[in-house]
Chain A
Amino acid sequence: MSLYEFLGTVEVGLIFGLVALGAFLSFKVLDFPDLTVEGSFPLGAAVAALLIATFHWPPWAATFGAIAAGFGAGLITALLNVRFGILHILAGILVAIALYSINLRIMSGPNLPLLGAQTVFTPLQGWSVPAYMLSPIMLGIIVLLVKAALDLFLHTGIGISMRAAGANPAMAAANGVDVARMKLIGIGMANALTAFAGALFAQIFGAADAYMGIGVIIIGLASVIVGMSILPTRTIMQATFACLVGALLYRFAIALALQADFLGLQASDVQLVTAVLVILTLVSQNSRSGVARLLGRRPQ
């Protein structure tokens, strides 16, 4: 693997770290399997691309616009669930498929190019260090700041109420927590994080595309699960860190699968190789019992 590819993998991994933080918030903290992200990731990309390419907003303002749009999308999903009693998974699916059409409207078509436009990464050009080395550093700082902010939030009054609402809604409600409100805020935040990731990804990819959301939920969830199985997750700070590591590992699994041609594998086998690598990671995490199970022996 070249340094350029390595740093590129880190870049994509860090961006999907934001998706993983969102998935952590919805799936783990709120126990709300939120599928809206398949739509809110391309929504973030679309809104950012529209504001940058068509309205010539400064890239950061456009990115914040995308974050707000993502929050709105999550809010609608949560609203469908808590106000109208629609099953959480279905509510997410409904909003995600609606967003497919909305994204096509936003971009007035399926693809909105950002090639040559000003992006949040443009200021990295023209330094003595090449931009491809600076952008993972910048993304690393952004993602760690977001992680720290999320950690802090989950320790505030609202944050603790949110965790309680997810862990035991009946008990939380009995203690005066407004569970519905917690879901609204939490799912909104999770999708704001996802849309943030979508906005950053579009600016690195060179375009926003209607099909950008494919597989985002799987990547996010796999990152959370991989990260949380191999690292300690006793505290919130450890858990969110594990999500980021999981997102990076997932991208490296794909990078490795892309190199797998020497094993006689072909391009279309990448998905299978990725799945096997993730399974191996999960199986071997608890090394002794995991490996024993892999070899067909019973753990001691």
Chain B
Amino acid sequence: MRGWVWTLRLSLIATVAALLVPAVAGAAEKKVAISTIVEVPQLVETKDGVLKGLAEKGYTPETGLKVEYQQANGNMPTQQQIAKKFVGEGADVIVSITTPTSQAMAAATRDIPIVFATVTDPVKAKLITQYKHPGGNITGVSDAAPIAEQLKLFRELVPNLKKIGFVYNPGLDSSKATLGWMQEQTKPLGIEVVESPAPTTNEVIPAARKLVGKVDAIYVPNDTTVVAALETIVKIGQETKTPVFTGETRGVERGAVASLGLNYTEVGRLAGHMVAEILGGKKPGDIDAIIAYKKLPTFNVVLNKKSAEAMGVKIPDAVLKRATKVVN
């Protein structure tokens, strides 16, 4: 008790001292504060992508960039405290990964520039009012999947695609948004979306099993809960010859048949470039918010030959020729 009260006191004294002494550390030093609600592969990849993007623009720890990274272990009160910590200590740019993290940051400051990443629908989340010239202190990168293009690819691989299973966590904003877009895009094609909710990773197995025999393929959106159990779904897909597709290309390396579009390192990289622009003097409100896949020069088509065989999918030569990457 006494020990940490002292630590607390000391840190308070140190902070007060730091406030009183004007910052001597030169203007060259820039600080970027990054936070996410929980550490899962997609979000860690996003964070690593941000650092990669920054490095590409010449901002690295070697050139005087200070990076602080905090995650909230899935706990929103902790996220709130991280937001207050970032704003209180000051940063040149805050990078917020996921919707709730971005909302906490947005509520905590209207002055410090915020770049969000891996927020599927930033307009609905009230982070920005529009993508073009968003104004205010917030801009960023949406990880929305290129559903229309993905469906086109899936239909080439599974020509008689009539029903597509959609395994998702109904508690995640991003998955809910993706489901809406998927339903919108499949309707004119005469494809039915069969929902299968899995509120926790433990419930992914029954949710995927439930779809077997009822659908022609299973689609795993960019859902942190479900992607965490992707291998399980792949196994079910192989056992029952049900093709499994994912919303991002990294899932293909983990055993899905195919995907098209983005991966999370790319989402982070694009956000990193925005951060670099802001560090260079641009205002966040003047930088258009973007949907990651629209910025990629060509759509990445990633295929997994071994999984395709195991799940009974015959990859047409035309698709194989178009592929950016073939796993196995």
A and B, one complex? yes
Known: A210-B171, A267-B39. A8 touches B80 (CB 8 A): yes
**A contacts with B: majority SS:** helix
Cβ-defined contact, B81 with A5, below 8 A: yes
List 13 extra interface pairs beyond A113-B125, A115-B103, A205-B76, CB under 8 A: A1-B88, A5-B89, A9-B81, A9-B84, A104-B171, A114-B107, A115-B125, A207-B100, A214-B75, A258-B81, A267-B70, A281-B1, A287-B1
Residues of A near B82 (CB, < 8 A) are 258
CB-nearest residue of chain A relative to B47? A267
- Which listed residue (B2, B12, B69, B172) contacts A267, Cβ 8 A? B69
B77 and A12 within 8 A (CB): yes
Instruction: Please report A residues at the B interface, Cβ cutoff 8 Å.
Output: 1-9, 11-12, 15-16, 100, 104, 109-111, 113-116, 201, 204-207, 209-212, 214-215, 219, 230, 251-256, 258-259, 261, 267-268, 270-271, 277, 280-281, 284-285, 287
Q: Assess the A111–B100 pair: CB atoms within 8 A.
A: yes
Return chain B residues, CB-CB under 8 Å to A261.
68
B211 within 8 A of A: no
Q: Give the chain B neighbours of A267 by CB distance below 8 A.
A: 39, 69-71
- Inter-chain CB contacts under 8 Å: number: 161
Q: Which 4 A-B pairs have the closest CB atoms?
A: A8-B84, A206-B107, A4-B88, A2-B88
B172 and A254 contacting across the interface, CB-CB below 8 Å: no
CA distance A141 to B2 in the complex (A): 28
Q: Which segment of B3-11, B147-155, B156-164, B233-241 sits at the interface?
A: B3-11
Most B CB atoms within 10 A — which of A254, A267, A277, A285? A267
Let me know if A268 and B73 touch, CB within 8 A.
yes
What's the tally of chain B residues with a CB closer than 8 Å to chain A?
50
Separation of A9 and B82 alpha carbons in the complex (Å): 9
**Which chain A residue lies CB-closest to B105?**
A206
Are the C-beta atoms of B85 and A111 separated by less than 8 Å?
A: no
Q: How far is the CA of A11 from the CA of B76 in the complex (A)?
A: 14
C-alpha gap A210/B199 in the complex (Å): 11
Report the Cα distance A256→B15, complex, angstroms.
13
- Measured in the bound complex, the distance between the Cα atoms of B105 and A8 in whole Å is 12
Which of A104, A206, A258 has the most chain B CB atoms inside 10 A of its CB? Answer: A206
| B8 & A215 in contact (Cβ 8 Å cutoff) | no
Task: Give which listed residue, B19, B73, B171, contacts A110 with CB less than 8 A.
Answer: B171
CB atoms of A214 and B170 under 8 A apart = no
B residues in contact with A259, CB < 8 Å = 11, 85
Q: A1-B15, A4-B87 are in contact. Are A251 and B39 (CB under 8 A)?
A: no
Decide if B173 is an interface residue (CB 8 Å cutoff).
yes
Question: Per-position contact with A for B81-111: 1 when CB-CB < 8 Å, else 0?
Answer: 1111101111000000001100110111000
Residues of A within 8 A of B176 (CB): 109-110
Minimum CB–CB distance from A266 to chain B (whole Å) comes to 8
**Can you list 26 pairs linking A and B with CB atoms under 8 Å apart?**
A1-B8, A1-B12, A1-B15, A2-B15, A2-B19, A3-B19, A3-B88, A6-B88, A8-B83, A110-B172, A110-B173, A113-B125, A115-B107, A204-B107, A205-B76, A205-B80, A205-B100, A205-B107, A206-B106, A207-B100, A211-B74, A219-B77, A253-B4, A258-B81, A267-B39, A287-B2
Cα distance, A185 to B126, chains bound together (Å): 38
Decide: A5 and B85 in contact? CB cutoff 8 A.
yes
Among B68, B75, B127, which residue has the most Cβ atoms of chain A within 10 A? B75
Q: Which of A15, A211, A230 contacts B100 (CB 8 A)?
A: A211
What separation, in Å, do the CA atoms of A113 and B74 have in the docked complex?
18
Q: Which residue of A lies closest to B175 (CB)?
A: A110
